[in-house]
Structure 1
């Protein structure tokens, strides 16, 4: 399979629902895509501006300051001490890495790439680009022989599911039995909400409670798009097994996959400042506290969603019908059909809208409270 064989970009199918929502007298409330709406923090923007004299080629491996900042961040924010600069690598956003990782790891036709059942579609795209077989399976016991790469995602997109230390240990053990690389997409790790995750950090696959100090075969992937509103900067990185990082670095040098120097400087500032992360988390917490009960009163069931940037909800009908009914209210969500074949009755609501738009969505959902269903 090649690029020409890929399916149409799925979000194109949402255009008619978006048109209906835009026609609402109060305007559209777009909760479909998790693109930040809040400003980039001043501490980050200032660092970017100060680094604009970027006349030389940037380093693919990242500047010494950036690599040190990533190492320090993992120790401070993720409980992963002892990393070295040879175990980290910046990437041009995380989507690029997700799509290209099977290629960079020399995954081949006949190999299996495992990803979650409710999954960001790029995991499957990356597998299909190299002719590998994508498999949606959450249970490690269902991961078959011939698996070369396993993607896990915690907190999950779209479902907000958080994997605890026990679940991560089980995933690591099974991946090692299979001789597979285990890549953990942890881009929403600063956004834990329910249960234990309201009080303690979401664990990383590199957490010593998971690895007992052995990072063989393991990668953690992180993006600053969510915690720091840097989606437009394409600022992300990975960490883990030094031998895998070295292989990826060599390939990325040949491909010219390097972050602009001003972005690297901005990342150093973002990684070193926890105050803006706490402030952004509070914005999302407050928006979630408005939207979640409004959806529940309107007859939605919220599944998982204990972490991350989304509410994973069902009204007990096909997602396209829910999308139609929401669009009539001027609300746009993401249909579960985009996230695999297992959740055709779910829709994903993003928290990346302004306070005013979230409040507008909650007000419009009161229209259906008495009937306990969208109507």
Structure 2
């Protein structure tokens, strides 16, 4: 029998998507954070040059890729002491998020902690193994049965950013419990208050000389427009990474060799990341102004690809109102009870579609 999992949330958006598509000037789809800009040429060229991939790739990643990941953490995340044994590539980050409870051997009676406003895949991974989910942002609330803690900074959907002091407190509590703690950091390069990335859970001020039970999870989908490549990685505690690698070898979870080559090219160049951030910054500024003028309040949203917007009404009422204008957004209820009166607005649309959304919000009765 198939696993008994929750319904896929975005299926519930179908009637609203149909209404938005019926708009005379077409839909503006701001419901999913799927990049719309081209993959940088040097990355595509690296992929093409590696297409003579006649042998199986390494589950652990090529030496060049592991070294590139280590160098990127040192250069961009303030994590200077990683070694290749501390990192492995993943097939995007979602498969790792959803499979981590399985790979760690969790089961009934174990608790998986997630943020109060949470990406649905954290809970899905727990459901696969029959573990219990606790939504909590306060380490003191995490119970003795906790075996995995998910942090998400920058947060999806709300753009929250945890500082080093909070990350340190969370790591200390997880170690007291003997729990693995993983920070999903895939929006780190998109901090709208700084030219630098947001703090990593592997920063020396957090780890204090030990990466025990601590993982950083990352994806190149957002900063490098590689969503279609499925290019991610995890870094941290070498003991945990080694155990995960052994399981992943059995399951055949290996990124294709051409994708690994493309990741090396992406990680070695910061220029394209800065350029992409500026494209998103301009779109963000347009949408912040437009939604505010339409009576929405933007909360959090310090970093990442989304605006966390509210008019203090049920999230589905906001979705319905915007769909009538041909604008599709995601209801905050997809992310838990904390989002029941918010909507998530993605920045991932073309400049033309972003401008169209702004014009409709200005002209429409919202």
Q: Which residue of 2 aligns with 1:73?
A: 72
Alpha-carbon distance, 1:26 to partner: 1.2
Return the TM-score normalized by structure 1: 0.96
Alignment of 1:130-209 (within 5 A): 130-194=129-193, 198-209=194-205
Alignment-derived partner of residue 55 in structure 1: 54
Question: Shift of residue 342 of structure 1?
Answer: 2.1
Q: Distance in 1 between matches of 2:310 and 2:166?
A: 25
Cα distance in 1 between the residues matched to 2:109 and 2:282: 46
Matches within 5 A, 1:344-359: 344-359=340-355
* Contact 2:189 2:196 (8 Å CA) reproduced: no
TM-score of the superposed pair, with normalisation by structure 2: 0.98
Measured in 2, the distance between the counterparts of 1:103 and 1:257 equals 13
User: 1:137 & 1:109 partners in 2: Cα distance?
Assistant: 19
1:258 to 2:257 alignment = no
Distance 2:235 2:6 in 1: 31
Query: 2:124 & 2:232 partners in 1: Cα distance?
Result: 19
Paired position in structure 2 for 1:224: 220
Query: Cα deviations across residues 253-301 of structure 1 (Å, max 9, x unaligned)?
Result: 0000001000000000000011110110010011001101111111101
Identify which range, 144-153 or 336-345, moves more after superposition. Answer: 336-345
1:106 corresponding residue in structure 2: 105
Aligned to 1:371: none
8 Å contact kept, 1:155–1:307: yes
Aligned residues: 366
1:135 Cα deviation from its structure 2 partner: 0.8
Contact between 2:3 and 2:128, CA under 8 Å: does it hold in 1? Answer: no
Tell me which of 311, 314, 329 is aligned to 1:315: 311
Equivalent residue number for residue 239 of structure 1: 235
After superposition, where does 1:41-52 map in structure 2 within 5 Å? Answer: 41-52=40-51
The structure-2 alpha-carbon separation of the partners of 1:119 and 1:3, relative to structure 1 and needing over 3 Å to count, comes to farther
- Residue pair 1:91, 1:97 contacting (<8 A) in 2 also: yes
Q: Deviations over 1:53-89 (max 9, x none)?
A: 0000000000000000000000001010010000000
The aligned counterpart of 1:15 is: 14
Structure 1 residue 3: Cα displacement: 4.6
1:4 CA displacement: 2.8
The answer as to whether partners of 1:206 and 1:220 remain within 8 angstroms in 2 is yes
Flag structure 2 segments of 5+ consecutive residues without an equivalent.
none
Q: Find the counterpart in structure 2 of residue 335 from structure 1.
A: 331
Alpha-carbon shift at residue 214 of structure 1 (Å) = 1.0
| Closer, same or farther: CA 200–265 of 1 in aligned 2, 3 Å | closer
- Shift in alpha-carbon separation, 1:224–1:299, aligned structure 2, 3 A: same
Distance in 2 (CA, whole Å) between partners of 1:171 and 1:279 is 33
Deviation at 1:213, TM superposition (A): 2.2
What SS is found at the alignment partner of 1:228?
coil
> Structure 1: where are the runs of 5+ without partners?
369-373
**1:269 corresponding residue in structure 2:** 265
Once residues 141 and 360 of structure 1 are traced to their aligned partners in structure 2, the CA distance between those partners, rounded to angstroms, is 46
SS of alignment partner, residue 342 of structure 1: helix
By how many angstroms is 1:367 displaced?
Answer: 2.7
Deviations 1:212-267 (A, max 9, x none): 22100100000000000000000000000000000000000000000100000000
Instruction: Give the 3-state SS of the residue equivalent to 2:183 in structure 1.
Output: strand
Residue 176 (structure 1) shift:
1.0
CA root-mean-square deviation? 1.0
Structure 2 counterpart of 1:305? 301
Quick check: 2:154–2:304 contact (8 Å CA) kept in 1? yes
SS in 2 for 1:312: strand
- 1:199 deviation in Å? 4.1
Contact (CA 8 Å) 1:3, 1:129: kept in 2 or not? no
